[in-house]
Amino acid sequence: MDNKGEIGTLGSVLLGLVVFAIFVILFWPTFKSMVSVLFSEEDENKSTNVFYERLINEINKMSIGSKNEFLFSTSEDYVLVAFQKDKDSFSGFCDGATYFNVNKPAKCKDKGCICLCDAGVVEYSLCDTKDDICNSFEQNVISPKFSCETFIIGTSTAANLEIKKQKEIIEINALSTKNLN
């Protein structure tokens, strides 16, 4: 009787190892990219670009009159800024931070615009370099829940965004934010 118990236990252990090996093989790419994002600055910046691309794709896919929530995260090198159609720049105090010379890029002139801007140039002019990534929209991009009505998600921040798309307006607000430092 002892042999049967040992074989049953050995069989259970082997089955568990096989299931674990299958799990590791199936989820290895996801696990590997998650570890890379968490521990690599280059991948952290790359992941911010991926978040940005997904945000823009989500807005473009949205139908008029719809509302979605979207998780967004910035690295220490980027800020996310949305510009209204009728504002070419912003300087001032906004939800706990002071900003100087946040400039709407020329390609966004007379359009609503969402940009991923290099935070390393804050002392000069934010959102005014060739490396900034911007997408313009025919709609006005507004953020009425921000005290300055300019939407800015600072560096190293995770935010749960609410996006409402209407015929004339894209409203983007942060429902919650968390500093990642």
* Domain-wise residue ranges, the chain: 1-39, 41-179
Tell me phi and psi for residue 15, to 5 degrees.
-60, -40
**Structure confidence at residue 119 (pLDDT):** 82
Q: Point out the residues of the chain with pLDDT beneath 50.
A: 1, 37-38, 40-42
- pTM of the predicted model over 0.95: no
**Structure confidence at residue 2 (pLDDT):** 53
Q: Please list the alpha-helical segments (H only) found in the chain.
A: 2-39, 41-61
